[in-house]
Structure 1
Amino acid sequence: MNYKLFQLINHNAGHHPVLDGLMVFFTKEAMIVYALILLLMWFLGKDNYKQTVVLAALTGAIGLFINFILGHIFYESRPFITHHVHLLLPHVKDSSFPSDHTTGAFALALAVLWRKHGKIGSIMLVIPILTGFSRVYVGHHYPFDVLGSVLVAFITSGVVYKFQAVFKPLSKLIISIYNRVPLVPKREQNLSR
């Protein structure tokens, strides 16, 4: 079933230049888009936005660390190693499960969404959906790799959100250091969340 779903999505690759370009963009550049959004939140937002950026970064890092462990425990060859696929981009021949791109994208989006930044979080949530789909489309992952990544991101972001008070001293320290740097944009406020 996993391979059948993969074929259903991947068989379109290489036949539709506009769709190919869009999928390659989301596969390669989604994290740059996230970095820009988070930088804007940091530089233009008040301290509660900065705290969200710190928590999002922690969530992403923890999710990717979990992926690293899972990739060594549940090694799965990438689709282009075991099957004939329409490969739009070259990739190293490491474990296919889970998708780091998808985990990172969903972890960041959920961290922002759950911290009550609904408009930004909702916009950010569109990107990981497209990223996950693109990873299958370009031939790098199976659909279940992406679903596993969504699960890792959901659990990780939920745990970080639930225990955000544990990380609050770290985020306050980072924000405090930043706010002491001269000539950088600041919009301070009392951190109540």
Structure 2
Amino acid sequence: MNSQLFFLIHNLSGHSHLLDDVMIFFTSDAFLLFAIVLLIAWLAGKSQLKSIVLYAGITGIVGLLLNVLIGSLYYEPRPFVTYHIHILLPHAKDDSFPSDHATGTFAIAFALWLRNRKLGSVMIGCAILTGISRVYVGHHYPMDVAASIVIALVVSIAIYKVERYVDPLVRSIINGYNSLVEKLIRKRFS
């Protein structure tokens, strides 16, 4: 079933330049897109939004670390290694399970959604496109992405549940940043 679903999605590639370009963008540049959104939110936001950004970053990092652990325990070859298929982008012949792109983007998106429904909903949409793109371009099986969604959800909820224990550190980081910016502004304009 995993292979059948893979071919159902992947066989759509190569027929529309526009769709190929959209999927290539999300496969190649999803992390950059998420980083830009987080950076803008950090720079434009007050302390509460900065806190949300920090939790999203922490959640993404923890999700990716969990992927490293899972990848060291279980190896799944990528679809283009197992099958002779055309991939839209070259990729290393490393482990396919779970998808780092899907885990990272979904972890950030879920963390944002738990704290800010509007921003989180938009980013979940971007994460969904990222997950689909990973199958579309031939880099992952659908179950690699599905597992990543589960990992991201579990990590997001776990970090949300322990937030009160991490809050002092997050507030210290934000206060330190705000103090540094104030000092730089005073120094620049004095």
Give the TM-score range, shorter chain: over 0.9
Q: Residue 182 of structure 1: CA displacement?
A: 3.2
Partner of 1:4: 4
Which residue in 2 is equivalent to 1:121? 120
Higher relative contact order (CA 8 A, sep 6+): 1
1:165 matched to 2:174: no
Offset, 1:184: 8.6
Between the aligned partners of 2:183 and 2:26, the Cα distance in structure 1 is 31
* Aligned residue pair count: 185
CA contact (8 A) 1:13 1:86 kept: no
Identity of aligned residues (%): 48
Confirm or deny that 1:81 pairs with 2:91.
no
Distance 1:62 1:27 in 2: 21
Q: CA deviation at 1:86?
A: 2.4
TM-score (structure 2 length as normaliser): 0.94
Distance 1:170 1:92, change over 3 A: same
Q: Decide whether the 8 Å contact of 1:10 with 1:86 is kept in 2.
A: no
Counterpart mapping for 1:64-75 below 5 A? 64-75=64-75
1:42-92 Cα deviation digits (max 9, x unpaired): 111111111111111110000000000111111100000010222000111
Q: Distance in 2 between matches of 1:89 and 1:170?
A: 40
Superposition pairs of residues 33-112 of structure 1, within 5 angstroms? 33-112=33-112
Displacement of 1:109: 0.6
Equivalent residue number for residue 28 of structure 2? 28
Q: Deviations over 1:105-140 (max 9, x none)?
A: 00001111101x111111111001000000000000
Where in structure 2 are the equivalents of 1:122-161 lying within 5 Å? 122-161=121-160
Partner letter of residue 122 of structure 2? I
Aligned position for 1:191: none
Which residue in 2 is equivalent to 1:189?
none
Structure 2 stretches lacking a partner, 5+ long: 186-190
Alpha-carbon distance in structure 2 between the residues aligned to 1:56 and 1:185: 27
Higher helix share: 2
Q: Which residue of 1 aligns with 2:188?
A: none
Q: Distance in 1 between matches of 2:7 and 2:123?
A: 28
Greater alpha carbon shift after TM alignment, 139-148 vs 77-86: 77-86
